[in-house]
Chains A and B, each alone.
Chain A
Amino acid sequence: MSERTLYDKVWDAHTVDILPSGQTQLFMGVHLIHEVTSPQAFAMMREQGLKVAFPERTFATVDHIVPTDVRTRPFLDDQAEEMIQVLENATQDYGIEYFGLESERQGIVHIIGPQLGLTQPGMTLACGDSHTSTHAAFGTLAFGIGTTQIKDVLATQCLALDKLKVRRINVNGSLADGIYAKDVILNIIRRLGVGGGKGYVYEYGGSVLDAMTMDERMTVCNMSIEGGAWVGYANPDKTTVEYLRGRAFVPQGAAFDRAASYWHSVASDSDAVYDDRFELAASEIEPTVTWGINPGQAVGISQRLPQPDEVADPEGARRAYQHTGFEPGTPAADIPIDVAFVGSCTNSRLSDLRAAAQVARGRHVHPHVRAIVVPGSFEVKRQAEEEGLDRVFREAGFDWREAGCSMCLAMNPDKLEGREISASSSNRNFIGRQGSPTGRTILMSPAMVAAAAVSGHLPDVREFL
């Protein structure tokens, strides 16, 4: 059959039934869980006497609350200790594979899924975390869900969902030096709006996406939800197949070849029909930073912060300036920073750390800045250390930490204090997001974060390369 998108094909292959409400019952090929959003689901399972239907299709790790400096148990934070214990007990009781703190497979859930090859093209995947669309970089339909829906997946391996429309987003041309995947997605969100994806799944393509590594595609797909799109995917291609070859949960030998041909077959047909299209020229993208309280409030580093009346939602801009205290019209590069954070499921893979290290090498963190690098997984950390990146960061004055979500959402001890301004490679600049209700977050690429750490204000990373 032709004219079908990847979304159509994978949706159809996983459709169990149409429910009485008219929603589709969709089978979930992989279910990933972590300590923050699943304990309540396990409690509901117990209360309702439910069993886990496919325990071999659920995988657990711990990431959100883990301290990144001293990880000795019990944790100093009693609540964090309780959360990890609930997860440990539940995974044991229900026979779910768990990559705990002692496991070499531990890490941020969206980093380890692809790293282990659990995430594969043509699959469906669910996880109780909004950045689950990261996995969609592989041509996986990956849904971020809440706790009651986690219970649904545990009990039935299914979700009740409405089918959405598909918007094709082409990024054309090629990225110049100093322009990264993060800049691409921040520009897509800025142009389409933080609610612009409502009702749509995004399919990312065009020459820029085609040329990207899987790490870069994951950065783009990761932030789909920040543009209001529940799922944003890229079609599988040779890059995807080669990334997966040899990974722990990927079949070997003849089965790998059969897998690869299935993966290629789920890509959107060349004559696939889309409900909407959007084009973005790479030449219009410069190193990008946010200035407000949502990821769509962003400007190029050579620009000035906009006047409220110059943007789509002036009231939202005024609310943002009220929180940040930044002056409209200020050149973006004049904004000082106090904290630099390289990490998060958006940008903590090996290539991100390499890009940040390239800037940090031979330079030193500004005396007024505290800077930390938090690798996305145990394995990313190991590989980075093998390459000597830890030494580069330490010599430059960055803290080199253990794997976890860390200061992206500050559920562990890594937090902003008071009115601090953070240059962050994470995904959200929401009010209070990094642990201080009055703190301020500026989103940017990991290389830009490293340059900001060195200069003490918002930099143009192109001057550091």
Chain B
Amino acid sequence: MNTDSRIRQISGKAMPVRGNDIDTDRIVPARYLKEVTFDQMGEYPFIDERFDPEGRPKPHPFNEAKYRDASILLVNANFGCGSSREHAPQALYRWGIRAIVGESFAPIFSGNSLAIGLPVITASADDIQRLMGIVEEDPSVRLDVDLEQSRLTVEGQTVPIILPETARQALTEGYWDSTAVLAANMAKVRQVAQRLPYLNGFQT
């Protein structure tokens, strides 16, 4: 366990980005995947939706000053579908997002987010609708996400949230940085490799 990497509570302002099936090409277009580091990714979330081809800003939550210091992203269903590019959660994280709360998430996006310690949290469609409404009405409102108690609190109201128990454990106990956890088992890894038919000439 790494006490420094435990993620148990996320508190802050929120930003709604509406729409189902928002794919990772929309979050970070492929041309930015040519950078060999993630360092600049924080500049790119939704860049083609925020600016027209001539570079003029378009209406988008990520362009609005009132959401600039939001740390919780509110989304609808199947967020992060499509390409496996980790650039997408990296871009959101480097922008300042520390938790995403939505109706549902695409599997690879969920895995990539967990791997960088960015919780993706599910709530009911009705609750998401309500949360988006609250935040759009008053962007200064603070949300408190409690991963240990699996609940979100806003303006004194409590909203139940769900994340897979394994992800909840990994985040709250500090196991989400998986390389070290996996590497602790290398002796067992080699045993498994030895008994796999395709690694031993199909002798077993």
Measured CB to CB, the residues of A under 8 A from B are: 13-17, 19-23, 25, 27, 29, 36-37, 39-40, 43, 48, 50, 53-54, 64-65, 77, 79-80, 82-83, 86, 120, 122-123, 128-130, 132, 144-149, 151-152, 155-162, 194-195, 197-198, 225-226, 228-230, 251, 255, 258-259, 262, 294, 313, 315-316, 319, 409-411, 428, 430-433, 435, 437-438
| Contact for A43 among B21, B26, B36, B164, CB less than 8 A | B36
**In the complex, chain A residues whose CB is within 8 Å of the CB of B20:** 195, 313, 315-316
Contact A148–B116 (Cβ < 8 Å): yes
Of all chain B residues, which has the CB nearest A45? B179
Q: A19-B181, A225-B108 are in contact. Are A194 and B166 (CB under 8 A)?
A: no
Task: State in angstroms the CA–CA spacing of A305 and B123 once bound together.
Answer: 33
Task: State in angstroms the CA–CA spacing of A250 and B26 once bound together.
Answer: 40
| Contact for B196 among A27, A146, A197, CB less than 8 A | A27
Task: State in angstroms the CA–CA spacing of A319 and B20 once bound together.
Answer: 10
Q: A20-B175, A258-B202 are in contact. Are A194 and B21 (CB under 8 A)?
A: yes
Tell me, yes or no, whether B12 is within 8 Å of chain A by CB: no
Of all chain B residues, which has the CB nearest A229? B107
Count of CB-CB pairs between chains A and B under 8 Å: 223
**In the complex, chain A residues whose CB is within 8 Å of the CB of B188:** 16-17
Contact A411–B30 (Cβ < 8 Å): yes
**In the complex, chain A residues whose CB is within 8 Å of the CB of B21:** 194-195, 294, 313, 316
A230 → B minimal CB distance (Å): 4
Q: A145-B84, A255-B201 are in contact. Are A152 and B179 (CB under 8 A)?
A: yes
Tell me, yes or no, whether B154 is within 8 Å of chain A by CB: no
Residue-by-residue, is B15-33 near A (CB-CB < 8 Å gives 1, otherwise 0)? 0000111010110011101
Of all chain A residues, which has the CB nearest B78? A195
**In the complex, chain B residues whose CB is within 8 Å of the CB of A132:** 84
A40, A50, A251, A316 interface centre (most CB from chain B within 10 Å): A40
Residue-by-residue, is B95-136 near A (CB-CB < 8 Å gives 1, otherwise 0)? 000000000101110011001100000000000000000000
Task: State in angstroms the CA–CA spacing of A22 and B112 once bound together.
Answer: 17
CB pairs A–B below 8 angstroms (7 shown) = A19-B175, A145-B112, A146-B111, A195-B21, A255-B201, A258-B201, A435-B30
Contact A23–B26 (Cβ < 8 Å): no
Question: Count of chain B residues with Cβ under 8 Å from any Cβ of A?
Answer: 62
**In the complex, chain A residues whose CB is within 8 Å of the CB of B35:** 79
Residue-by-residue, is B164-182 near A (CB-CB < 8 Å gives 1, otherwise 0)? 1111011001011011011
Q: A148-B86, A148-B116 are in contact. Are A432 and B26 (CB under 8 A)?
A: yes
Tell me, yes or no, whether B150 is within 8 Å of chain A by CB: no
Contact B178–A437 (Cβ < 8 Å): no
| Contact for A158 among B104, B107, B111, B182, CB less than 8 A | B182
Contact B37–A40 (Cβ < 8 Å): yes
Contact A430–B182 (Cβ < 8 Å): no
Q: A29-B196, A315-B20 are in contact. Are A428 and B82 (CB under 8 A)?
A: yes
| Contact for B106 among A25, A39, A228, CB less than 8 A | A228
Task: State in angstroms the CA–CA spacing of A16 and B183 once bound together.
Answer: 11
**In the complex, chain A residues whose CB is within 8 Å of the CB of B38:** 40, 147
Task: State in angstroms the CA–CA spacing of A79 and B37 once bound together.
Answer: 11
| Contact for A122 among B82, B175, B197, CB less than 8 A | B197
Task: State in angstroms the CA–CA spacing of A226 and B35 once bound together.
Answer: 25
Contact B33–A431 (Cβ < 8 Å): no
**In the complex, chain B residues whose CB is within 8 Å of the CB of A40:** 36-38, 86
Q: Which of B143-198 contact A (CB under 8 A)?
A: 164-167, 169-170, 173, 175-176, 178-179, 181-183, 185-186, 188-189, 192-193, 196-198
